[in-house]
Amino acid sequence: MRSRSRPAPDPSPWLFIAPAATYLLLFFGYPVVKNLVMSFQQYTIRTFYTGAAPFVGLRNYSTILSSDLFSKALLNTVLFTAASICGQFVIGLALALFFQRSFPLGRVLRSLLLLPWLLPLVASGTTWRWMLDTDSGVVNDVLRHLHLLPSGVPWLTGTSQALVSVTLINIWVGIPFNTTILYGGLQNIPTQLYEAAKLDGAGPVATFRHVTWPLLRPVVSVVLVLGAVYTVKVLDIILLVTGGGPANATETIATQSYELSFQQFEFGRGAAMSNVLVVLSLVFAVGYLRANRRATSV
C-alpha cells in the first residue's frame, strides 16, 4: 500500500521480532521439549557425575502415577486451585464494586490495596507462617483474647487446617489482582445503563443482576481462567509456609515435582510430574483461549 514512500534500506519486520522470539523459544520452547525427553530418562544422584541417564520408557510415569502421594497431590492441587479462585474472585468482585463508588481517598486506598500482590512472596509467606503459629502466632492470640477458641487453631500443624491456611494466604495474595481487573471491567460499563435501570425502578440487586453481571461476563471469564492457570502452578507459597507438610497434607503436583527434582535429584520423575502439571495447565489454557475469543467477539 505504502510502497511508493518506502525508504530503501530497511530491516525486515521479522528482525524486530527475532530476538524476542529466539529468547522465548530458548527459555520456554526448549524447556518444554527437554522436560518431555527427561521424563523418559532415569536420573539419579550419580547422573551428573557419570552423565549416564538411560531411557526407561514410561517407567517414570508409572512410578509417579501409582505412588500413593500422587492422588493426594492431585486432589490438593484441585482443591487449592478451586478454593483460591472462588475466594479471590468473590472478595475481589465485592471490593471492586465497593471501590466503584466515589468517595474521598478512594483512589489512594484502591492502589494501596495492590501491596499484597506486589510484595515478594518470600516476605509475605514468612510473615504469614509466623502469624499462623499455633502457640505464639498473632492469629491464635486474637482468637484466644476474644474467647472464641481457647485452645487455638493448629493452622499449620493440622492436616486439614494446613491446606485451608495456604489457600487463605493465596487468596490474600490474589485479591488485589482480581479487584483491579474487575474494577477496570466495571469502569467500562456505560453509566447511562445504570441511569436507565434506576429510572426503571431497579434496586441495587436487580441492577447488578440485569446490568452489571451480563456486561462484566467476558472480563469475569478471563479473570477466572487466568487465575486458574496461575494458581495451578503456585509453588513458592506452599514451599515457604508449610513445605508440603504436615504429613504431606499440602503436597501439590508442583511441590512434588520440585521435591523429586531438586531434593531427591530424580530429575526424570520430577520432569514426569511437572508434565502432569503442564497437562493441567493446558486444560485451562484451552478454556482461556475460548474465553478470550468470546471476550473479543462480544
* Binding to another protein in span 188-247, by CB under 8 A: 219, 222-223, 226, 229-230, 232-233, 235-236, 239-240, 243-247
Q: Is 38 in the site for another protein (CB under 8 A)?
A: yes
Contact by Cβ (8 Å): 61, 36: no
Q: Which of 116, 113, 292, 297 is nearest to 220 (CA)?
A: 292
Stretch that binds another protein, among 76-84, 173-181, 192-200, 207-215 (CB under 8 A): 173-181
Q: Tell me the DSSP string of 86-136.
A: HHHHHHHHHHHHHHHS--TTHHHHHHHTTHHHHS-HHHHHHHHHHHT-TTT
Grid coordinates belonging to 208 = 447488578
Q: Is 294 in the site for another protein (CB under 8 A)?
A: no
Stretch that binds another protein, among 46-54, 74-82, 195-203, 207-215 (CB under 8 A): 46-54
CB of 109 to another protein, least distance (A): 5
Q: CA 280 to CA 233: how far, in whole Å? A: 9
Q: Is 80 in the site for another protein (CB under 8 A)?
A: no
Stretch that binds another protein, among 77-85, 118-126, 198-206, 209-217 (CB under 8 A): 118-126
Pick the closer one to another protein by CB: 6 or 199. Answer: 6
Q: Is 146 in the site for another protein (CB under 8 A)?
A: no
Q: Mapping DSSP to helix (H, G, I), strand (E, B) and coil, where does residue 41 land? A: strand
CB of 51 to another protein, least distance (A): 10
Q: Is 92 in the site for another protein (CB under 8 A)?
A: no
Pick the closer one to another protein by CB: 215 or 295. Answer: 295
Backbone angles phi, psi at 252, to 5 degrees: -120, 175
Distances (CA, A) of 189 to 111, 178, 184, 214: 21, 17, 9, 10
Determine which residue in the list 55, 149, 263, 290 makes contact with another protein, applying CB under 8 A.
263
CB of 196 to another protein, least distance (A): 17
Q: Is 111 in the site for another protein (CB under 8 A)?
A: yes
Grid coordinates belonging to 114 = 495492590
Determine which residue in the list 82, 149, 262, 293 makes contact with another protein, applying CB under 8 A.
262
Stretch that binds another protein, among 33-41, 77-85, 192-200, 201-209 (CB under 8 A): 33-41
| DSSP state, residue 59 | H
CB of 245 to another protein, least distance (A): 5
Size of the site for another protein (CB under 8 A): 123
Contact by Cβ (8 Å): 272, 64: yes
Distances (CA, A) of 228 to 80, 177, 181, 208, 234: 10, 13, 15, 25, 10
